[in-house]
């Protein structure tokens, strides 16, 4: 499967995520640099630009 000529990287996760765990704002800020609100659903969806 290709998207714009690039093969996606997919990981199968078998672990369970615990409820109530949150990422601290400083760590999240490093990822939010590449996040942009979706043009169609700006309140609910984001577009992530590759680095």
Mean pLDDT of 2-31: 87
Mean pLDDT of 24-46: 85
Distance in angstroms (rounded) separating the CA atoms of residues 45 and 35: 10
Beta strand extents in the chain (DSSP E only):
35-37, 46-48
In this prediction, residue 24 has a pLDDT band, given cuts at 50, 70 and 90, of: very high
> Is the predicted pLDDT of residue 39 greater than 80, yes or no?
yes
pTM of the model: 0.38
Distance in angstroms (rounded) separating the CA atoms of residues 40 and 15: 33
């Amino acid at each position: 499967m290709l998207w714009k000529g690039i093969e996606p990287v997919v990981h199968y996760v078998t672990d369970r995520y615990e409820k109530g765990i949150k990422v601290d704002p400083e760590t999240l800020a490093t990822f939010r640099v590449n996040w942009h609100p979706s043009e169609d659903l700006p309140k609910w969806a984001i577009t992530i630009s590759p680095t």
